[in-house]
Amino acid sequence: MEFSLDYGEGRRVKLEVPAGQVILPAISAEPAEAGSSLTESISVPIGTAPLTSLAESAKSIVFIVEDHTRHSPVLETLDLLRKLFESRGISWDKVSLLIATGTHRQMKPEELQEKFGVFSSDTRIVQHKAEETAKMKDFGEFLEVPIQVNEAIEADLTVGIGSIVPHRFSGWSGGAKIVLPGVASYESVFKSHRMAILKSKADVGVFENEFRELIDETGSRVGLDFIINFYYDINGSTAGTVAGNHVLALRKGVELARKQLLRQYRERTDVTVISSFPSVTDFWQCGKALYTSDLITKDGGDIVMVSSLDEGFGDHPLFASLLKLEANEILEKLDMITTEDPLAYVAAYAVRKVLQKKKVHIVSDTKFAEKFDELGLRVNSDIQSVVDRLICPGKSVSVLQNSLVLPEITTEEVYHETKRP
């Protein structure tokens, strides 16, 4: 049976697996409904007035947008919004963009140009820096987590633009997650993720959890007036858009996204092959693929992760070195943390828990292969040879073409297919 996995923008890798060893998901009896377009969702939002009506009376407008590690159609959205504003006589001069970098590095000039086009030069842009505590505004605490957010968020109209996809720490992205962790202080980001690891029911695709409560509360306290969130089909194409109130619109969006991405399996498999796409920037981001494949892989099984790993281990060098420790050792250090990068401990703990239960094999052409090899994370160049080595007779295999897929183990009948659906 032949599979094609996403590798990068416009790039795919091929894989063949004996049909008798492949476990495919059950075919959903409920087809996903057609989604609303961007124009429709903005014009008829959920729980708020139309965006243009809100913008007409606003003297200042902030659009909180994603950085280079995310892939929402931000440029197309800004193009449409400017045209809508012009048609209603709303000046674009009162608009500024606040880039939700979280704790990521700042975007380079060429990345700003690529992601935001002409808006990178004719619209005021603020890149969030989580470490600049003097530029954070305090909104109190919730669930023992301080809510400290970039002061640039304050405007007569604040709008978040992002995506709804399954997420390990918050269950699903989207909504006010563009605020926390997107434009929050380092302390807020660290303590919220620490809470998600130690005290929350959060996991990939689990919507009701403490971290989501914190995110929603943050959106309400800071005055997030409107969201525009995209959700995707299994191939990574935009399936629809929801817009409006950051709580109500998100809940509708998660319902629609789940129908698009959910794949039900009758059992865990011995081997899971997954692409980390669209999270290919670095191993920190690629953790999404590990968390997802963990849901469907037997303990003691193998995960084959395909990713371009463009920037190696990314912005947190401490994260890489911590992966040498066992999860309980990381947790002990986390409890008495005084380090310069405590968030690295949280991420390393989550990844290490997967690495201790499953054997992970990386397939990539990354130029940072030696750094991965030093940590015992061998980087392979050919996916077919890796999978052929792992799937001895009797072993079951599942293949997830990207990390958008939401696998779920169910008691419903799932069967071995001998041909592609």
* 3-state SS class at 356: helix
Instruction: Give pLDDT, residue 296.
Output: 96
**pLDDT, tens only, 375-417:** 889 999 999 999 999 999 999 999 999 999 999 998 644 333 3
CA distance 35 to 14: 30
CA distance 286 to 403: 9
Token pair of 104 as six digits: 């990521």
Contact by Cβ (8 Å): 261, 166: yes
Query: Residue range 21-28: average pLDDT?
Result: 85
Instruction: Give pLDDT, residue 352.
Output: 95
* 3-state SS class at 279: coil
Contact by Cβ (8 Å): 43, 80: no
**pLDDT, tens only, 308-359:** 999 999 888 889 999 999 999 998 887 766 556 788 888 999 999 999 999 9
Q: Which residues of 330-358 are buried (b: 16+ CB within 10 A; e: fewer)?
A: bbebbeeeeeebbbbbbbbbbbbbbbebb
CA distance 51 to 56: 9
**pLDDT, tens only, 112-162:** 999 999 999 999 999 999 999 999 999 999 999 999 999 999 999 999 999
Confidence check: pLDDT of 419 > 50: no
Nearest CA-CA partner of 347 in 234, 239, 190: 190
Angle, vertex CA 276, rays to CA 173 and CA 186, nearest 5: 45
Nearest CA-CA partner of 402 in 293, 247, 259, 269: 293
**pLDDT, tens only, 230-247:** 999 999 999 999 999 999
In Å, what is the CA distance from 371 to each residue of 101, 277, 312, 412? Answer: 25, 21, 8, 43
Query: Residue range 73-89: average pLDDT?
Result: 97
Plot region of 376 (φ>0 → left; ψ -120 to 50 → alpha; else → beta) = left
Q: Which residues of 79-96 are buried (b: 16+ CB within 10 A; e: fewer)?
A: ebbbebbeeeebeeebbe
**pLDDT, tens only, 252-286:** 999 999 999 999 999 999 999 999 999 998 999 89
In Å, what is the CA distance from 11 to each residue of 188, 288, 400? Answer: 36, 19, 16
Instruction: Give pLDDT, residue 417.
Output: 38
Instruction: Give pLDDT, residue 415.
Output: 37
CA distance 68 to 111: 7
Confidence check: pLDDT of 29 > 80: no
Q: Could you give the percent of the chain with pLDDT greater than 90?
A: 81
Q: Find the helix or strand (DSSP H, E) in which 61 lies.
A: strand 61-66
Token pair of 129 as six digits: 């820096």
CA distance 336 to 191: 13
